Each structure stands twice: as structure tokens, then as C-alpha cells.
Amino acid sequence: MYSTDANFYDGLSSVKHNVRVFFLEHQIAIEVWQDGDMLHQYLWNPNNVSKVDIGNSAVVRLYYTYNNAKQVLEINNPNTQEWLRLMYPGSLLTKEHFGTIHSKNIYVLGGAFVVVVCFLAFLYFWGLPFASDLVAKMIPDSIEREYGQGITNTYLTTETIDSAASESLNEFFDAMHIEKNNEVQLYVVKSDVVNAFAFPGKTIIVFDEIIRRTTNKEQLAALLAHEYAHVKQRHAIRAMAAGMSSGILLSIVIGDASGALGGLAQNADQLRLLKYSRDFETEADNIGLDMLEESKINPTGMAELFQLLQTEEKAVLGNSNIMDKLEFLSTHPLTKERIKNAEHAIKQKSHTVEENNKMQTHYEQLKKEIDSVIF
């Protein structure tokens, strides 16, 4: 009998166990110990070892299927090969050519590795986002609405809703004449953070501080048009699907199934920090501008809103305490390119602007309600 320490993978998780292995006459015993107690013992039949890897170093790897689990025993002892020959004559364990990595195969293995890495990279950066986006688009509106309502209710239990301001904001949005079916629900949350975001379904959350920063109704209309464009294009559910799918892929690649399942758990509070892709933001900008034009609202409000927020960003740049309050800029990155594109789109279109007295009335009422509560 011979024994030595080794590393062991039980095939149930990606965790590496430090074990004691015993080469007995008719079996290989693997003992998993922790704090002086033996947690488990695995008994391998030497004749059923499926593969042996013997590299140029002293490391020998044995592969075995135990109750449908693919297990690996990794032994770093220069005497291992000699022990195998002595204990198990005539078995596959004595055939050094079996599973041995010869130098002539290095290039083949290296090429295969490169191919696998390239395939995984393609899958991660292109294939997976495309597939997840396709699946997200196929989710029925009713299911998205039900799911969105659930996480909205969960989120709002942790926040303070300004009911009066919420009513005025919904009336303001109705006066914009963007949503014909009037199914969108807007909530004003009391917070000194500058942000607004859309939940899956048709719910838009607006923090009162970003309303407080606007100087005219056109800027607020641009903000709501941009957020409603995210709703209309289902960006939230599509971004969530992309985030979950990439996390699940990484968990599968590293062999941790529990991590893959854990990737399905989503926290409603984290959704407000969901970062949309540059394509989503550009799409929301363009569709938002089209909505403003169709409703005969001056679209310059969008460029003004972006410039206002960018000016504040520059004013507080370097002050982390204040930058934390400008959350909208981290979840909706205002690049120079986006602002330039918005300004260019506005100039390229001929706009018919009509004064909307209802919007102005609701905006003034909303500002009074917001300004009466200052953090």
C-alpha cells in the first residue's frame, strides 16, 4: 500500500479538495478530511479509470466517473507512476502512452485551446447578447408587465413616494400626448439623487431632484420622452436578459452550477442602476426626439437637459460625495457624441411647435410641489 496527499475534484462543484489517497491492492481510496474529521471516502476501481494524464512534470491526473460525476484526482508526487505500475500491473494505469501528453501533440492542443477561447469570446460578446435579446423580445407584454409590477412594488416599499407630485407628473405626461392608451405609470420618489429610470413593463421612476434641476417644461418633457423610449423599446428587460445570460455563461464555463442558478436572482433596487448600452441610449435619444416632434413639443429641451446635466457634472467633477448624487449620469452616460448627435438631429428636422398650456400648468404645479420639499 502507498499513500500521498493530492488534490481532488468531486465533479459536483468547482471546489478543489485536499485529500489523502491510498493505493490499495484492488482499489484506490480517496479520503476527504476537514478539521480532523473524515467527511467522505471515495473508492475507485483501478480498472475503471477512464483516463490518465502524465505530463513532463511529476503531476499525474486520473479521471474517473463516480455515480455519474466526472471526478479528477491530481497527484504531485514523483513516485506516483512507479506506485501505479507496482500496484496495478496489467491495468491502463501502467500504460504510459494512455492519455499522456506528448510533445508532438502540444501544437494540436494549443490550437484547440485557441479555437475554444475564440469560440467562447464570440459567444460571450456577440452570440449570447444576440440570443438573449431575441429571447427578451419574445417575452409577452403581459408577462413583462406582471414581472415589472412585482419588482416595482418591491422597490417602492423601500422608498418615499411623493403622491401629489406623482399625480402632477402623470398629468404632465398625459398632456404630452405621447402614450395614447395611457398605460404608463410614473412615480416621483423623494431623493436628493439626480436620476430617472424605467422598470420592465410600463413604469417610470423619477427622483424629485432631477425635476428640481429642470428650468422649463421642455427639459422635463425630454426626460420623460427619453425614459418612455426605453419603455417602448423594452430596454430594461433586454438589458436584464443580457446581464443574466453573461453571468450564467461564466458560471457554466467555470463549472459552478450553483453560480448559474444564483445569476437568476435579481434585486429590484439594483435595477435602477442598470446601465444601458450605447446603442440603447442612442436609440432612446432618437425615438424620444421623434416623440417630441410628433407631439409638437420643442425638442431643444433634450439638448438643454443634457447640457444642464453635463454642466453640473463638470462643476462637481472630483467631488465623489456630490458625484454620487448625479446617478443619472452613471446609468445614462452623457458622451459628447450623444449630445452632438441630439443637436444634429434637432437641426436636421423641421419642427412645428405648439404652445401646450396644460403642460405648462402641470409643470408649474409640479415645481411648486417639488420645491416645497428640499433635502
Pairing mode, if any, of strands 59-66 and 51-54? antiparallel
Please tell me the distance from the alpha carbon of residue 6 to that of residue 75, in angstroms, as a whole number. 5
Query: Given pLDDT bands bounded at 50, 70 and 90, which one contains residue 349?
Result: confident
| Least trusted range by pLDDT, from 14-23, 165-174, 288-297, 341-350 | 341-350
Q: What is the pLDDT of residues 93-134, one digit of tens each?
A: 665 544 444 444 555 666 777 787 776 666 555 555 666 666
Supply the angle between the helices 217-232 and 163-176 in degrees, to the nearest 10: 80
Higher-pLDDT residue of 152, 169: 169
Top mean pLDDT of 76-80, 270-274, 295-299, 319-323 is at: 295-299
Question: Cell match 494524464: residue?
Answer: 53
pLDDT band at 28 (very low <50, low <70, confident <90, very high): very high
What pLDDT, on the 0 to 100 scale, is given for residue 120? 63
What is the residue-wise DSSP string for 66-134? ETTEEEEEEEE-TTHHHHHHHHSTTSGGG-TTTT---GGGHHHHHHHHHHHHHHHHHIIIIIHHHHHHH
Residue 38: per-residue pLDDT: 85
Amino acid 52: pLDDT:
82
The pLDDT > 90 percentage for the chain reads 27
Instruction: Let me know: does 322 contact 313? Beta carbons within 8 Å.
Output: no
Region 319-347 average pLDDT: 66
Which of 146, 138, 186 shows the shortest CA–CA distance to 163?
A: 186
Confidence at residue 375, expressed as pLDDT on a 0 to 100 scale: 47
Q: Which of 70-74, 199-203, 238-242, 363-367 is the most confident on average?
A: 363-367
Is residue 355 helix, strand or coil? coil
Better-predicted residue by pLDDT, 27 or 312 = 27
* pLDDT of 325 above 70: no
User: Residue 141: what pLDDT?
Assistant: 77
- Predicted pLDDT of residue 33: 86
91 pLDDT more than 80: no
Angle between helices 217-232 and 357-371 (to 10 degrees): 100
Report how far apart, in Å, the C-alpha atoms of 139 and of each of 30, 200, 228 are: 48, 11, 19
**Does the structure show a pLDDT above 90 at 192?**
no
Higher pLDDT, 168 or 117: 168
User: Given this model, what pLDDT does residue 151 score?
Assistant: 85
pLDDT score, position 201: 83
pLDDT at 289: 92
Q: How many CA atoms lie within 13 A of 142 on its CB side?
A: 0
Whether residue 296 contacts residue 353, with contact meaning beta carbons closer than 8 Å, is answered with: yes
Mean per-residue pLDDT over the chain, rounded: 78
pLDDT at 168 over 50: yes
**Residues, the chain:** 375
> Mean pLDDT over residues 133-145, rounded?
73
Amino acid residing at 363: Y
CB-based contacts of 139, cutoff 8 Å, min separation 6: 237
The residue with greater pLDDT, 127 or 336, is 336
Averaged pLDDT for residues 312-321: 60
Could you identify the residue written with the cell 400648468?
A: 361
Q: How far apart are CA 40 and CA 19, in angstroms?
A: 10
Q: What's the grid cell of residue 16?
A: 478543489
E strand or H helix at 311: helix 300-316
Closest CA to 159 of 182, 127, 192, 137: 192
pLDDT at position 268, please?
A: 44
Indicate the burial class of 230 (C-beta count within 10 angstroms; 0-12, 13-18, 19 or more): buried
In this predicted structure, what is the pLDDT of residue 51? 81
What letter represents residue 263's amino acid?
Answer: G
Q: Are 208 and 180 in contact (CB under 8 A)?
A: no
Stretch 75-87: mean pLDDT, rounded? 87
pLDDT of residue 310: 78
Residues of the chain with pLDDT > 70, as a percent, come to 71
* Contact predicate 193/325, CB 8 Å: yes
**What span, in angstroms and rounded, lies between the C-alpha atoms of 306 and 308?**
5
- Three-state SS for 18? strand
Which grid coordinates belong to 280?
A: 440603447
φ, ψ for residue 61, nearest 5 deg:
-115, 130
Q: How far apart are CA 196 and CA 208, in angstroms?
A: 9
Does this model's pTM top 0.85?
no
- 212, pLDDT greater than 60: yes
Cell of residue 104, nine digits: 508532438
Q: Look at 101 and 251; give whichever has higher pLDDT.
A: 251
- Does the pLDDT of residue 144 top 50, yes or no? yes
| Tens-digit pLDDT profile for residues 258-301 | 444 444 334 444 444 455 567 788 889 899 999 999 999 999 99
**What is the Cα gyration radius of the chain?**
31
What separation in angstroms does the CA of 55 have from each of 47, 74, 87, 141?
21, 12, 21, 56
